[in-house]
Amino acid sequence: MIEIRNISKKFGKLQVLDDLQLQLDRGECIALIGPNGCGKTTLIKIILGMVMPDSGDIWFDGRSIRKDIDYRKHIGYMPQIGRYPENMTIGQVIDMIRHIRKSDAGRIDDSLYRDYEIEAFLHKKMRTLSGGTTQKISATLAFLFDPEVLILDEPTAGLDPLAAEILKDKIIKARGEGKLILITSHLLSELDDLVTQIVFMQEGRLVLHKDKASLQALTGQSSIARSIVHLLKSGV
């Protein structure tokens, strides 16, 4: 589905990504984890076409993204902090994104729209929203266009427990539908019920890419968080 081929990126003298290679497949929910500054955000921006790598390439469904920018319409992205025009209402923002993505054709997935009762807030301006409500809007927009790939950056940050559980259920359902889901999170305890694979990065390099069962068997631990701590203590 997505092939990351020998991606390297520097910002000045700082090597942010160093010859990174990954294969990300449909039907997998993949945790992209690592310490701050390990290159996670830069990798996401390269996949989204927001940053150009110094070398290497990204292939999406068998085509280089350098040759096919339309691939982005197949991706739903939920940023860690959603930034929207402050003077627009929620309804105007949703209409604007629908227009940009030309979503008249194809299935629209409005289940989060219903579950989060977004209709009751359509008149509210973005600048008046709490962080949690903004997160709900970002989650709704990520799933709204029924994308093949979902990239979710700290998706439950700022959500109340009920809203977080609604989103987790939605992620599990999307995984069951064969979508590729990439999640970054510092709250490893929240990932155990969601993810099927773990990608761990350090200093721009791939440390490991394993399915959850293999990681737990390797470390003898019962959770992702304990498995990662075990590896770090053993000097992985």
* Tens-place pLDDT, residues 110-142: 899 999 999 999 999 999 999 999 999 999 999
Average pLDDT value for the chain: 91
> What is the pLDDT at residue 67?
79
- Provide, rounded to the nearest whole percent, the portion of the chain with pLDDT above 90: 72
CA-CA distance, 202 to 200, in Å (whole number)?
A: 7
* Tens-place pLDDT, residues 83-95: 999 999 999 999 9
CATH tag for 2-233 (out of 3.90.1150.10, 3.40.50.300, 2.40.50.140, 3.40.50.261): 3.40.50.300
> What is the pLDDT at residue 187?
81
> What is the pLDDT at residue 107?
63
pTM of the complete model: 0.92
> What is the pLDDT at residue 112?
94
The dihedral built from the CA positions of residue 66, 67, 70 and 73, taken in this order, carries a sign that is: negative
Backbone torsion region of residue 46, taken as left when φ is above 0, otherwise alpha when ψ lies between -120 and 50, otherwise beta: alpha
> What is the pLDDT at residue 7?
97
In the chain, domain spans? 2-233
Alpha helices by DSSP H, 15-160 = 40-47, 90-100, 111-115, 131-144
pLDDT below 70 — which residues of the chain?
103-107, 235-236
Residues 6+ apart with CB under 8 A from 51: 9, 42, 45
Q: How many Å is the Cα radius of gyration of the chain?
A: 18
> What is the pLDDT at residue 229?
87
- Per the CB < 8 A criterion, the answer to whether 194 and 7 are in contact is no
